[in-house]
Amino acid sequence: MTRYGGLGRTRPKKLTSKASIPVVRESDIDAIDDDIQSSLQQIETGVEKAEESEIHLQRAINATAQGKVNEAHIPTPETILSNLQYDELYPPIFSQPATYIRFSSTVEDCCGCPYNMTEEDDVFLKIMNEKRDPSAGRCTEDIFEEVMNFFEETAQIKQPYASIDNPPVLSFAEMQDMMDATLEDPMKIFAKEIYEHWKSRRMAVQNNPLVPQLKFETGQDTDDSDPFVCFRRREVRQIRKTRGRDAQSAEKLRRLRKELEDARELVALVRQREVARREMLSVERQLFKQRCEVKEMKRKLNIKDDDEDLINQKPKKRVLDMPPQRPNAPQLRMPLKAGQGAEDLQLLEDVQAEKENEILRDIKQNITKHIKWNEGYVDHTRAPLSPSPERIFDVAAFRPAFTAQLPTPPSSESSGEMDTSLDVTSPLFSRDKLTSHTMELHDEPHRMPSFRRRVGRGGRLMIDRRNMGPRKVDMDPFKADRFKFDQEDSDEEPDYDTDAYSIQIMQHRAITMAKAREQAAVAAQAHAQAQAQAAQAQRRLLEQNGQHQGSTGSNLGPSAVSVSET
Amino acid sequence: MGVRDSHGEMTGTPDPVDRGFATLNTIRIGVKAMVQKDGELRKAEILSIRHRKDGPSFYVHYVDFNKRLDEWVASSRIDLSQEVEWPQPEKADKKKTAAASKAAPSKNVTANKRARADSRDMSQTPDILGGKNLNIGKASRPSKAGGKENLGAETPGDTSMFPSEAVSTVGTPKATESEDFEMADAAAESKSVKEDQVQTATGEVITRGEEIERLRTGGSMTQNPTEIHRVRNLTRLQMGKYDVEPWYFSPYPDSFSDVDLVYIDEFCLSYFDNKRAFERHRAKCTLTHPPGNEIYRDDYISFFEVDGRRQRTWCRNLCLLSKLFLDHKTLYYDVDPFLFYCMTTRDETGCHFVGYFSKEKDSAEGYNLACIMTLPQYQRRGFGRLLISFSYELSKREGKLGSPEKPLSDLGLLGYRQYWRETLVELLIEPNREAISENELAVLTSMTEKDVHETLVVFNMLRYHKGNWVIVLTDQVVEEHEKRLKKEEIKGARKIDPARLQWKPPVFAASSRTWNW
């Protein structure tokens, strides 16, 4: 850098890898700068430091730097053509498949018997075969190798540490144990003889394997410094925790992706279905329109036939004239022949009504049956199957105070009481219960509680109600008892207040007030008319009384309750 | 040039070198003498001595030449009329501490590199720096040596990971001379502490004097194990149609060092020290191509992908073979975590293995290649370039930027630089190319931005001109490019055609990526 200072230059701009650099030819720029450039940066070669200085390498580097690439030559030892009979050893057996080769057999799979005969073995085998009775068969090279290999392998198995502790050569007896399992019968014949040969050869190499082996670790201290020891096992590398976590989260992401993919596919399929459906609908609509035209035409031309062409041949697939309803075959004919169509329609209604009735009958039967079962018993369980008779109220509650899950079939008691134990709003509330309940209500329409919602001043929301049953009904006696001293439960407190709005109580109040007024009037009139005309007074009084009562009764009507909703 | 590491210090410092005349009897391992080579005298270090009927011969390493040129020389080639440099037992202690303390603070990078290399090295000289009571024979791996002096150099080694095969690192991690001084150092230590005792590879304890005597009289391989891997152990290789001279040590069975010719099966890469056995094997072996899936095929070559875990034997065979030609490859660990991409040429006998590169299944450092090798019999024919090109083609398919694992060998460096330069020039020379960023170049080539940048700098193409950076297509690279085009016109271009690559980046479960033993 000081060089630049010396030349009165500023330090060169920093070069970032993203910066676009103009490409120019040498002739486009001045050559002046060259000197500085060459020593601009020292680039590491990547060669081992100690070898960087090697003469041939330096020469080659300098040659390439000067552009004399051909001189960049590093001498290496010569290779020469071998005088081996290559063609005999490597027969031309390879034929290239049309597709790329896929191959997974190992060297062991492809090399046959791992033991290979040496010249020494050849000599022995020849002598052995000559000595043998020709009728008894000869030992082939392959068999010989198999047997030798067996000895080698057995020795390896039985004396795995032969190279360290120098045990004596394995005896033939020891070999025989293993022999039965591994060697085939024709080989066993020769085993004994070959064993002697094998033994002598093993002795010659201090009981080391006959085929030179690579040196693997033995667990001894000398391993590390022994240059012949190779292919060590890796010490188990501690798997970094972050890695594991990475793998885990990757796995999670993969799963998530798959799930999303599945969902997407589902949606796509649904869309496909709906598109198909829309198409179908439009086609059917078109069909219907055209049929209408056909019908019109038929009428005009007065063609009378069985009108088969106006209905679909498959009865299930009908033109949808009324979108959501299940199209019925008779309905199609409706516009055609009014009488018949009406009949058909009637029929359907009848069927439906009958079904309804059947269900209701069934339910009623069940209810009565249930009551019969429980006759003479008083069910005092928490949520009794059939409520005890004294708690029967004829007025439906405004609001169930609690909802209890009934493990037993719903109570068959046909009273408003049910609402206290069942969640009316729940969709689970069975249909037949509702019907029976409505029926009960229909019996006494004036008893039905009714509500009116209205918006008051300042946007207050008011709910007016009438015919409210006494609140006490809401309370299970056990629970009421439980809450008796529970001051915190302010929600439950108004239970008692609402009594004041009970019709009965209000009536009572009205009557007592009326009575008081009546009494006052009686007293005043008694003063005025005194003892005279007692009978007349008595009659008039009776009339007055009746008027009063009537007016108070009408006043009783709607009792307004303002419920401020939050 | 950058720092030359302790090696540089050794030769550069004015420390007096112990010089003196030697005779054939006093000459010993570690001595540097002048040796006749190609008609000139070169300084060479004696690495091994063997005695045969026709007199002693010496395994020498020529200082400042690649180890592949190391060789056995007869005593007549050693010039004993000149003084030799003796290994320096007395000086070493002081110097080593100096080197260590220097290495630690000021040259962290190199220290790290060294230490890392050390820790991975299979046959490494123990870092004798700290091991006062270690003797040579019982060398332990540096991470276990517990001296305080070497902490600086060593701790990084401890924390470093062990990528098993480095392109090249680690077979011989040390500068020859620095190793030499450590040796000498150790000798000194053992002299003072252990009363001249050393332990041989076989474990017996002998005195230093006895050991030297043994080295002189006994077989070549009984010496101190730290020296073994510096001496090529195979003499010659028979493989396919060729006889090949190995370049470096490879841990084939140690009895193989006694035979003149080792036979390698061209297809299964099995090794034999016996011709008859090899022939028998050939009669049985049915492999005609690398045992994996073919992932690329054109009319010239095929590529096979071989999983180190599934084809353990074959991949081990391959590694043993390639270690013969890769100095810095380590076979310390097994082949499981690697995939091997093998290039073959075809004829009626099969798909002949030409070269390969290995690739970590999961490279933490973003390497797209671990080791790369073309067999010597196929070198200088453009196969290396195809291999490199293929490795980048895989990276492109993966959508990653990649770089080869370091250190590179000398040949690796030249090969890569050539490929990088040609690839970049090809892009830059496109008509209408007015400007491009290094990042864009990287994405187009799958090279890392660092490699792009460094290539541009090395070939003097990135310049600062009138206050702006410019990429200069120098006359030189343009000329090279045109020459290459002409050559390709005549000879036909050998290129990897991405359309012929049938390959998806393999996915491995965490269990198969780790070493599931």
Structure tokens of B278? 């090899």
**pLDDT value for A545:** 59
Q: Domain residues for B334?
A: 232-407+474-504
List the CATH number of the domain containing B351.
Answer: 3.40.630.30
- End-to-end CA distance of chain A: give it in Å, rounded: 79
Return the percent helix, strand and coil in chain A, to nearest 5. Answer: 55, 5, 40
**pLDDT value for A539:** 65
Mind telling me how many Å the CA of A425 is from chain B's nearest CA?
A: 56
**Cβ–Cβ of B472/A38 closer than 8 Å?**
no
A131 touches chain B (CB under 8 A): no
Q: How far apart are CA B41 and CA B83, in angstroms?
A: 13
Task: Please state, in angstroms and as integers, the Cα–Cα distance from residue A342 to each residue in A40, A95, A114, A333, A339, following that order.
Answer: 105, 87, 97, 10, 5
Is residue B369 situated within a structural domain? yes
Q: Which of A107, A112, A227 sits opposite B229 (nearest CB)?
A: A227
Residue pLDDT, tens place only, A504-526: 877 888 888 888 887 887 777 77
**Cβ–Cβ of B437/A18 closer than 8 Å?**
yes
Is residue B113 situated within a structural domain? no
Residue pLDDT, tens place only, A430-483: 444 444 444 444 445 556 677 888 888 888 888 888 776 655 455 566 666 666
Which residues on A lie below 8 Å from B5 (Cβ)? 49-50
B419 touches chain A (CB under 8 A): no
Whether A421 and A411 have beta carbons less than 8 Å apart is answered as: yes
Mark which of B64, B85, B106 sits at the end of a domain: B85
Average pLDDT on A207-216 reads: 88
Which residues on A lie below 8 Å from B458 (Cβ)? 43, 65
Interface of A with B in 94-123 (CB under 8 A): 94-96, 100-108, 110-113, 116-119, 121-122
Is residue B426 situated within a structural domain? no
Is residue B221 situated within a structural domain? no
Q: Calculate the CA dihedral of residues B203, B204, B209, B210 and round it to 10 degrees.
A: -120
Is residue B94 situated within a structural domain? no
Interface test with B, best of A45, A88, A95, A113 (most B CBs within 10 A): A45
Give chain A's mean pLDDT: 74
Interface test with B, best of A32, A38, A107, A141 (most B CBs within 10 A): A107
Give the pairing type, strands B271-272 and B468-473: unpaired
Whether B236 and A78 have beta carbons less than 8 Å apart is answered as: no
In this prediction, residue B5 has a pLDDT band, given cuts at 50, 70 and 90, of very low
Average pLDDT on A126-142 reads: 86
Catalytic residue chosen out of the listed positions B279, B405, B434, B479: B405
Residue pLDDT, tens place only, B441-500: 999 999 999 999 999 998 889 888 888 899 999 888 999 899 999 999 998 888 999 999
**Cβ–Cβ of B407/A224 closer than 8 Å?**
no
**pLDDT value for A31:** 64
Q: How far apart are CA A7 and CA A147, in angstroms?
A: 84
Is residue B363 situated within a structural domain? yes
Is residue B102 situated within a structural domain? no
**pLDDT value for B266:** 95
Residue B302 bridge partners (DSSP): B297, B344
Whether B124 and B142 have beta carbons less than 8 Å apart is answered as: yes
Which residues on A lie below 8 Å from B438 (Cβ)? 15, 17-19, 21
Cβ neighbors of B390 (< 8 A, separation 6 or more) are: B296, B303, B341, B343, B357, B496
**pLDDT value for B375:** 96
Decide if the complex's ipTM is over 0.85: no
Is residue B214 situated within a structural domain? no
List the CATH number of the domain containing B44.
Answer: 2.30.30.140
Q: How far apart are CA B245 and CA B248, in angstroms?
A: 9
Residue pLDDT, tens place only, B31-52: 999 999 988 999 999 999 988 8
**pLDDT value for A308:** 76
**pLDDT value for A420:** 42
**pLDDT value for A137:** 80
**Cβ–Cβ of A94/B138 closer than 8 Å?**
no
Q: With 0-12 CB in 10 A as exposed, 13-18 as middle and 19+ as buried, what is B55? A: exposed
Nearest to A538 by CA among A552, A551, A524, A525: A525
**Cβ–Cβ of B242/A81 closer than 8 Å?**
yes
Q: Calculate the CA dihedral of residues A301, A305, A309, A311 and round it to 10 degrees.
A: 120
Dihedral sign from CA coordinates of A433, A434, A439, A442:
positive
B515 touches chain A (CB under 8 A): yes
Mark which of B32, B63, B85 sits at the end of a domain: B85
* Annotation says B279 is catalytic: no
**Cβ–Cβ of B428/A224 closer than 8 Å?**
no
Report the run of H or E that residue B51 belongs to, with start and end.
strand B40-52
Q: How far apart are CA B387 and CA B490, in angstroms?
A: 22
Structure tokens of B408? 């590179």
Mark which of B38, B58, B85 sits at the end of a domain: B85
**Cβ–Cβ of A46/B406 closer than 8 Å?**
yes
**Cβ–Cβ of B459/A65 closer than 8 Å?**
yes
Which residues on B lie below 8 Å from A26 (Cβ)? 472-475, 478
Q: How far apart are CA A222 and CA B24, in angstroms?
A: 32
Q: With 0-12 CB in 10 A as exposed, 13-18 as middle and 19+ as buried, what is A400? A: middle
**pLDDT value for B130:** 36
Q: Nearest residue of B to residue A38 by CA position?
A: B460
Does the pLDDT of residue B223 top 70, yes or no?
A: no
Nearest to A232 by CA among B241, B41, B332, B165: B332
Report the run of H or E that residue B354 belongs to, with start and end.
strand B350-360
**Cβ–Cβ of B379/A20 closer than 8 Å?**
no
What's the domain count of chain B? 2
What's A80's DSSP letter? Answer: E
